[in-house]
Structure 1
Amino acid sequence: MGIREIQVAAHNFTVHELDDVYDSVTGRALTGSWVWNSALVLSHWMSTHLNFQGKAVVELGAGAGLPGLTAALLGASRVLLTDIQPLLPGLLKNVEANGFKERVEVRELVWGSETESGPFDVVLMSDVFYDPENMVRLGNTLERICREGTEVWAATELRPSTGDRLNELMNQGFQMVEVQLTTQLDVQNGMEDSNQFAIFQIICHVSPTPVI
């Protein structure tokens, strides 16, 4: 781990990846300590497809926070980066390193908790569809922070279990619209494999038809 320079929309982000944040139960490094390829895919896609001017944005399971920082770069008026408590110091470091302290907040958010942080205009997520126990809690959180017109965008690497995780959200009443599928290998930005990635728009119960 260490410091990475990642270019998005002709801007160089400084991203601190951590090597000293561990799960207290398993002893393994927390997966949110570094930038996942899905976060790179989402950030690049956002820079050419979404309008963030004047919008309030939240990133769920932000990890290192690259998509949320990209939203700030692209004109969001407020960005909230959320994750579990051990990852917050790393998020704060990345906010400060990129000069976004005035518009980007960092806050703990445990999915399914009663914490109210919204509503928001845009919700961002990358590589969050892997733990079946978290899908109901994620759905509960989305219900609380979305309002009519909220856009929810999620990028994920397509794994054998991804379809099951998406079905669990759809069983809660959410709709999934695949808007981008890519296998592009981006060597410049450190993507280490050419697996398939997809970007989905998630339609909440209160939301109108997809914007794409």
Structure 2
Amino acid sequence: MAVREIEISGRSLTIHERDDTHDPVTGRALTGSWLWDSALHLAQWMATSSSSSHPDHDLSGAAVLELGAGATGLPGLFAAAFLNARRVVLTDVAPLLPALCANVEANGLADRIEVRELRWGSEETSRDLVEGEEVDLVLMSDLWYDKEEMVGLGRTMRGVWGRRTKGWAASEVRDGVEDCVEVLRREGFEVVEVERTSRKLMRGASETAMFAVYHITSNVN
């Protein structure tokens, strides 16, 4: 296990990464066990954009849901700790939940954050996940890597999306991302890129990659 102190706009979160969490079917290590650059990029974008100059980005009192939070849940943690989100629900597959709970506890956020199991394509809705409340914001980072997974993700998004729900997503700009986005558009979502920038990678100070942030709205609700 590795422990990172992640600083975002002068504010710090403790992140535990696991190297011993495996898929029970394949036996392979789950990539969601580690903190990925897209999650850090999304949290940093949230920190700089959530200001008086962006009133539509105000999370005060908001109910926030993070899909594919992995074991770290950094964007959701940041929303609860520093952006005044009233309630945050972090979701992922069952093997990652103990580590995700440990990160919630490590940052003293158990009173504002819940951890729930959620597999894309399942029948869960916002009513199931947030106990009847409408979700204000859905967060996603680095989920657009496999076109075949996007129909299930789109079905889950439709289940949790309400009339006022919006989404913020971040992804490394790589081959296949636009194909994934096109599937989500066919599933009824408007996905608009709002920022693209190059940044150094956490695990390779001499390496850089391009990252993008997206706004997501539903064309159905």
Contact 1:142/1:204 (8 A) holds in 2? no
Per-residue deviation at 1:184?
2.3
TM-score, normalised to structure 1, is 0.92
State the 4+ residue runs in structure 1 displaced beyond 6 angstroms: none
Q: Which amino acid aligns with 1:55?
A: A
Contact 2:188/2:220 (8 A) holds in 1? no
User: What is the distance in 2 between the residues matched to 1:24 and 1:102?
Assistant: 30
Q: In structure 1, the residue corresponding to 2:209 is in which secondary structure?
A: coil
Q: In structure 2, the residue corresponding to 1:152 is in which secondary structure?
A: strand
- Indicate whether 1:200 and 2:214 are aligned: yes
Tell me the residue number matched to 1:129.
144
Q: Deviations over 1:110-154 (max 9, x none)?
A: 111112225300000000001222101111111111112211011
Q: In structure 1, the residue corresponding to 2:199 is in which secondary structure?
A: coil
Per-residue deviation at 1:185?
2.2
User: What is the distance in 1 between the residues matched to 2:203 and 2:79?
Assistant: 21
User: What is the distance in 1 between the residues matched to 2:80 and 2:195?
Assistant: 22
Per-residue deviation at 1:173?
2.2
Q: In the alignment, which of 70, 80, 91 is matched to residue 72 of structure 1? A: 80
Q: Which amino acid aligns with 1:61?
A: G
User: What is the distance in 1 between the residues matched to 2:96 and 2:112?
Assistant: 19
User: What is the distance in 1 between the residues matched to 2:123 and 2:176?
Assistant: 28
User: Identity over the aligned pairs, expressed in percent?
Assistant: 50
Q: In structure 2, the residue corresponding to 1:166 is in which secondary structure?
A: helix
Tell me the residue number matched to 1:38.
38
Q: In the alignment, which of 114, 122, 127 is matched to residue 113 of structure 1? A: 122
Tell me the residue number matched to 2:63.
56
User: What is the distance in 1 between the residues matched to 2:174 and 2:104?
Assistant: 30
Name structure 1 gaps, 5 residues minimum: 208-212
Q: In structure 1, the residue corresponding to 2:191 is in which secondary structure?
A: strand
User: What is the distance in 1 between the residues matched to 2:186 and 2:161?
Assistant: 18
Q: Deviations over 1:78-110 (max 9, x none)?
A: 000000000000100000000001000000011
Q: In structure 2, the residue corresponding to 1:141 is in which secondary structure?
A: helix
Tell me the residue number matched to 1:180.
195
Tell me the residue number matched to 2:14.
14
Name structure 2 gaps, 5 residues minimum: 50-56
Contact 1:181/1:199 (8 A) holds in 2? yes
TM-score, normalised to structure 2, is 0.88
Tell me the residue number matched to 2:5.
5
Tell me the residue number matched to 1:27.
27
Which is richer in strand? Answer: 2
Contact 2:155/2:187 (8 A) holds in 1? no
Per-residue deviation at 1:206?
4.0
User: What is the distance in 1 between the residues matched to 2:85 and 2:177?
Assistant: 30
Aligned length: 204
Per-residue deviation at 1:24?
2.5
Contact 2:146/2:176 (8 A) holds in 1? no
Contact 2:89/2:114 (8 A) holds in 1? yes
Per-residue deviation at 1:172?
1.7
Contact 2:138/2:168 (8 A) holds in 1? yes
Q: In structure 2, the residue corresponding to 1:160 is in which secondary structure?
A: coil
Contact 2:147/2:176 (8 A) holds in 1? no
User: What is the distance in 2 between the residues matched to 1:105 and 1:142?
Assistant: 18
Per-residue deviation at 1:191?
5.4
User: What is the distance in 2 between the residues matched to 1:75 and 1:58?
Assistant: 14
Q: In structure 2, the residue corresponding to 1:100 is in which secondary structure?
A: coil
